[in-house]
């Protein structure tokens, strides 16, 4: 860490990043739950909005999380997913997440095609 790096800033940024990750996990779960229950509700709409915003942000940042850039700028030596996963796997998480999200929406479409 450099002289300008404050460990408290890194902890704060990791905490905020973790909170955002939990929102994204809950959003994916809402899509799958909607598919299982065959319902469109406010939670699905909120989840879809959150996932779209995340997708746009990651796409505009060329496949990397903009929050990770902010963390690196403040001296955090590890990307968020690297806190939990090996670096090789962590680098692929956005592609894996995109596939999981796409499958969730596919299930949602199939759910309504079959049960409507």
User: What pLDDT, in 10s, does the model give residues 40-81?
Assistant: 999 999 999 999 999 999 899 888 888 888 888 888 888 888
Name which of 79, 81, 103, 80 is nearest 28 in CA terms: 103
> Considering the domain boundaries, does residue 1 fall inside one?
no
Strand positions, DSSP E, the chain: none
Q: For residues 67 and 17, is the Cβ–Cβ distance under 8 A?
A: yes
Share of the chain above pLDDT 70, in %: 95
Residues whose CB falls within 8 Å of the CB of residue 83, separated by 6 or more in sequence, listed in order = 14
* Domain count of the fold of the chain: 1
Read off the tokens for 28: 């994916």
> Considering the domain boundaries, does residue 106 fall inside one?
yes
Give the range of the structural domain holding residue 34, as residue numbers without chain letter: 7-115
Would you state the pLDDT for residue 44?
Answer: 97
> Considering the domain boundaries, does residue 2 fall inside one?
no
pTM of the model as a whole: 0.86
């Amino acid at each position: 860490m450099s002289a300008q790096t404050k460990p408290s800033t890194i902890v704060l940024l990791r905490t905020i990043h973790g909170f955002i990750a939990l929102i994204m996990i809950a959003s994916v779960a809402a899509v799958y739950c909607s598919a299982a229950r065959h319902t469109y509700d406010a939670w699905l709409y909120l989840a879809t909005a959150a996932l779209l915003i995340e997708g746009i942000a990651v796409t505009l940042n060329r496949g990397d999380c903009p929050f990770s850039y902010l963390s690196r700028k403040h001296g955090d030596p590890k990307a968020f997913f690297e806190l939990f996963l090996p670096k090789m796997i962590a680098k692929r998480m956005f592609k894996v997440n995109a596939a999981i999200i796409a499958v969730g929406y596919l299930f949602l479409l199939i759910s309504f095609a079959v049960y409507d």
